[in-house]
Amino acid sequence: MDYALENARVFVSGSFMELNIGIADGKIAQLGKLPIDAPEKIDCKKRIIIPGCIDAHVHFRVPGLEHKEDWNSGSRAALAGGITTVLDMPNTKPATTTVQLLEEKRKLVQKDSLCNFGFHFGTTTENIAELENAANENIASFKVFMGSSTGNMLIEDEAILRKIFQIAKAHNKIVSVHAEDETIIKQNSEQHKNENSASAHTKIRNSECEKAAIEKALALHRETDNKLHICHVSSADGLEKIIAEKRAGSLTCEATLHHLFLNDADYEKLGNFAKMNPSLKSRQDNNALLHGIFDGTIDIIATDHAPHTREEKQKDYLEAPSGVPGVETMLPLMLNAANENKISIERVVELCSEMPAKIFGIKNKGAIEVGYDADLCIIDTKKEWSVKGDTLQTKCKWSPFEGMKLKGFVERTFVNGRLVYDDGNFDGSARGREVRFYG
């Protein structure tokens, strides 16, 4: 045995139990009330232990955009937030749209990441033939951008979209969709072309824009019966379309922290620091998303961690890029919501750990069971702290939640049985592993 975690409340099979955990060879080797003999013993002082969180939607900016984030800074931020595995999106520079580029990216990440990782594969109007090769690779999903975003991966041609869905179905792969309708975005952009403030963003990328794209994705999903995952749902209208179609297993969706806890009233305070795609919507949309968490429509919480520098964000609205950082604040924000009785901690674990592992088929993660990887997070649910951008690990050093007081704090994070984060200190020699996906 390598570690014994003692005197803790451990999340096992849907509830918290007073147990000790024995860790050996990177795995959970023992669970029980009896003392465990190990050279390293940690008294958890009645803290809770949950499975490490899995963030299925991050942009760690490698290769090509390392001035915004890299895998050392991004993985440190993840670990400080209790996230032990991240799934990285393909719109880097160059975008991850060929098997060769995927392999090159894999080598870069293996060299620098302190947390575990996996990759989504990018789709374009030009790489349909490459998808057959990529389907045999270890990837989380095919990522489709139905609305313009960072990079040049927009797909508007319905025939190409249909072919992507068909290839995914044939190879039992998930299609993950950024659902915003580009035609509506262009029409709204023309209508509001003289508005040069962040508040115009919701008018341009409105609920109608999201709803139309979700309708299109759902129509293709019905036609092909593929696995479809809708990323960062932001509106009541979009969620309503998903509710009408949802069938167990084949259709899933995610919500982000900024769409849950920020809204269009925050543009006045945050300006471009609240500019992201999809845009912030209304307080009513916040409430609809929270209800979607309660009733099970929303399957997972993800961050869409997409950092940019302060200088980039301080440009005029039309020039400033979209996106906000989030990995370090995801779990703390959810713990704070639990402390405010808006959600149970048990549901937080389901949304942030269990369901991402199930949806993307990540073996031996997302739960605390004997034989599972010892990806663990030790949490002080009572500690209060404030979000301060300049103390965050992310390279951009800012947060849209700046100044927010939160209750719930990540003390320690284990990755593959190794204590990698310990109350502000990192084991810089640790390296995460690429996760394996099983359909």
Give the catalytic positions in this structure.
304
Place of tokens 């696995």: 227
What is the full DSSP assignment across 56-67? Answer: EEE---TTT-TT
Beta strand residue intervals within 33-106, DSSP E? 40-43, 48-51, 53-58, 83-88
How many CB atoms are located within 10 Å of the residue 124 CB? 21
Strand-pairing partners, residue 87, are 118
Place of tokens 């009572």: 382
Place of tokens 């490490």: 52
C-alpha span between 432 and 72 (Å, rounded):
11
Q: Which residues of 347-359 are buried (b: 16+ CB within 10 A; e: fewer)?
A: bbbbbbbbbbbbb
Single-letter amino acid code for the residue at 406:
L
According to DSSP, residue 394 is labeled: S
C-alpha span between 227 and 211 (Å, rounded):
19
